[in-house]
Amino acid sequence: MSTDAPRRFPATILLATDLSARCDRALDRAVQLARQWQARLVAVTVVDPGALSETRVRAAPTPSWGGDGSGPVERTLRQLRRDAAATDVEIVVRVEEGKVNETLARVADEEGAGLIVTGIARSESLGRTVLGSSVDWLARHAKVPVLVVRDRTRGEYRNIVLASDYSASARGALECAAGLFPDVQHTVFSAFEVPFLGMMDPEAQNAAAQGRKAALAEGAAFLAQADLAPAQREHVRLHVEQGEPVRLVYEYARDHEADLLVLGTHGRSALFDILIGSIARRILETAATDVLLVRHASAEG
């Protein structure tokens, strides 16, 4: 068990952007984190080769003013450099051609990124756009945590909620979040359900109290097993609630004005598919909260 709080700040942050307005908030958050951690920031945009081919085939005659003679890659690079120049943090810019998902993963490896930051539009769901489907893909395959930015950047993260099922994946997510943000409040939130509680006679409804007691005991064991230093444990609290987990996680984060929700993902498993399909998908579609997706170290590729 650790004796000093391990500060696991990434040396390099990768911003994955498609240069749309939905990624402006992701840029602001990536800049803030780079400044906070004194990290190197790399911004990458991936250009689909299919779109380039279609552009070349359908290219219109050169206009009377002559145009600038540049293609989509050059124009994209200029726009990315303009966005980077608007910040006080030095940003390395890259424009790549290829399949978006695999290219983002390759660039993250090449740059030694410890965190991938991206954005998603409020009206779009995972899989509805190229970058949206990439969030889903990165959650399953990325070797490093993925931060999906929804809210405006008003400063450092101060109130973090971890949705926990007491699994090894959730424990890894807690350790990751505590390492990235060691000096802020972390709430480990867990919800339990009592099957057919509404159908029980009044004398049997002590099952709810027993369920809460068991969930609290399991939560205490979960925290005891986490690799957290004493200084980090001071900032971690446990909250257990009875009811449907997806709804309660969303409402707790909303009502307590959490600015970051952390989810551990299990990789290619049925449980992961349930998690990313219910909790993460609903939060990314409807909530304003930023979401940190932490893939379990033992998840299959």
> What mean pLDDT comes out for the span 64-68?
60
Q: Would 8-153 and 157-301 be classified into the same CATH topology?
A: yes
Q: Which of 72-81, 218-227, 239-248 reaches the highest mean pLDDT?
A: 218-227
Residue 20, classified by CB atoms within 10 Å of its CB into exposed (0-12), middle (13-18) or buried (19+), is: exposed
Q: What is the pLDDT of residues 130-153, one digit of tens each?
A: 445 777 778 778 889 999 998 889
Pairing mode, if any, of strands 40-47 and 91-97? Answer: parallel
Q: What is the pLDDT of residues 158-181, one digit of tens each?
A: 999 998 888 888 899 999 999 999
pLDDT-derived band at 13 (thresholds 50, 70, 90) equals very high
Q: What percent of the chain has pLDDT over 70?
A: 71
Query: 157-301: which CATH architecture?
Result: 3-Layer(aba) Sandwich (3.40)
HEC readout, 234-289: CCEEEEEEECCHHHHHHHHHHHCCCCEEEEEECCCCHHHHHHHHHHHHHHHHHCCC
Give the bridge partners for 45, in sequence order: 95
So where are the chain's domains? 8-153, 157-301
How is domain 8-153 classified at the CATH fold level? Rossmann fold (3.40.50)
Structure tokens at 114: 């410890």
The reported pTM is: 0.82
- Cα dihedral 260, 149, 163, 254 in deg (nearest 10): 60
